[in-house]
Chain A
Amino acid sequence: MSVFIDDAMLAAYVDGELDPAQLREIDRLLIADPQARYKVRRMRETTALLRAACAESHFQEVPDRLMQLVEKRPAPARTPWLHRMMAASVLLICLAGIDYTLDHHAWPVETAAAMNERTAMMDEIAAYHLVYARQTEHLAEVPAERREHIEAWLGSLLNRSLKVPDLSSQGLKFEGARLLAIDAYPVAQLLWSREHGDPVALCVTFGPTESKPLNIEHHRGLNVGVWDENGYTYVVVGALTEDGVRRIAAKVDTSVGVGEVPQQEGVLHEG
């Protein structure tokens, strides 16, 4: 099949918008045409710069008038765990912006309540997993073939660079990703299948700035591992042994890269 290739097609190639036949055509063109390679490289560089220049951190001061609008509502039944963490994050960033030294002990979290909310979140993720793990044809919302898009999309939602870890050494095949929402906050869910056994998921969402080591709990018949690092919470869930959870957690790259230029293709995809 011959495909007409212009700048728009090259842009669609960069953005992961082409079907497999079109991708093959462009790949062939890129081998043969240095001008096309140059354009694709420029588009990728520009995208990387644009993402860094327009990071969410430059736009996050929420004005009072919006807060007043949002708060014109009946009191919520409970303060979501993530909401508290997000509010605290905003506070932390604002204070950091005026060179204010913030002591970690000033973190406005009631520990016991936060732990309950955290347990609730893990339970909710386990519940989601039980539903999705039964899906054979539609395990993931975005398939593994669109890995670059997945990393860009979910990374953007979480305001960080996000790498899909290579778990092939654990007998896991990457199947794709979903976006979950817990308490209205985005949770990136990456999914792997196994030749023998149910799928496994890694969830990433906003978390506290204070790091916490891996802790494994049992929810809904599944081992669920959770830890906090670099301002994000990571959850590994699946029908795994505790050792299995630990092995997968050890493979996860938790570098955040907020405000950095995302790495280019080839460097980004270590898997």
Chain B
Amino acid sequence: MVENHVRSALVPLYPRLRRFAVALTGSRAEGDDLVQHACERALTRTYQWQPGSRLDSWLFRIIQNTWADERKSARSRTQAPIEAATDEIGDDGVRRAEARLTLDNVYRELCNLPEEQRAVLTLVCVDGLSYKEVAEILGIPVGTVMSRVARGRLALADRIEASGGHSADNILKLR
């Protein structure tokens, strides 16, 4: 009953899948479409998933492949403007002023990075996957993951600082 297992795992895994899809596309709307298409594709290929292996990695790989296919096809995205992060995240109702703004800024600057850096930063820094796992998902060498993570993270740090971003003091405030 592999198919049932995959189906029932899609909802709890959805936030992580969606986060990765948004990171790939750079747009929440396109990310939502991408994760939907990828889930549809996954359910037609459940026989390809090896029980005992990581289901999240398999689904990330399908999202990556679906995105690559969509870009190859006529459906390739237009360069959609990155939506204002403040409208997209943090639906707490009450704005926790400085801390929230700092995190909005971080998210916005992530979206402004090149796609290949967004993808590795999301999978490594946020999802906590190993370089090897990320290399398999993205179909690139481990060394490439390593260099993209380094470049992306320092570029993000530069962007955050340049946009009036953060310091170690902000981290303390956010706790």
Contact = CB atoms under 8 A, between A and B. Distances in A.
Interface string B63-99: 0000000000000000000000000111111000000
Contact of B36 (A12, A52, A63, A156): A63
A184 interface: yes
Interface of B is mostly: helix
Interface stretch (A69-77, A105-113, A116-124, A212-220): A69-77
Interface string B142-158: 01001101110110110
Contact of B174 (A17, A52, A54, A156): A52
Contacts of B160: 46, 49
B131 interface: yes
B90 A58 contact: yes
Given A15-B149, A51-B126, A42 B157 contact: yes
A50 B8 contact: no
B59 to A, nearest CB: 12
Contacts of B22: 59
Contacts of B5: 184
Interface of A is mostly: helix
Contacts of B106: 49-50, 52-53
Interface string A175-211: 0000001011110000000000000000000000000
A269 interface: no
Nearest to A87: B11
Contacts of B174: 52, 260-261
B4 A185 contact: no
A233 B67 CA distance: 36
A7 interface: yes
Contacts of A156: 126-128
Interface of A: 6-8, 10-12, 14-15, 17, 39, 41-43, 45-54, 56-60, 62-63, 65-67, 69-70, 73-74, 76, 80, 83, 86, 97-99, 149, 152-157, 159, 181, 183-186, 260-261, 263-264
The 3 closest A-B pairs by CB, nearest first: A11-B150, A153-B128, A56-B15
19 contacts: A7-B150, A8-B146, A42-B153, A43-B154, A49-B103, A50-B106, A52-B174, A54-B23, A58-B15, A59-B14, A65-B36, A76-B4, A86-B12, A157-B128, A183-B8, A184-B12, A185-B12, A260-B175, A264-B171
Given A47-B153, A49-B103, A66-B11, 13 more contacts: A6-B150, A15-B131, A43-B154, A45-B168, A49-B170, A50-B156, A53-B103, A66-B36, A70-B8, A73-B3, A86-B12, A154-B128, A260-B175
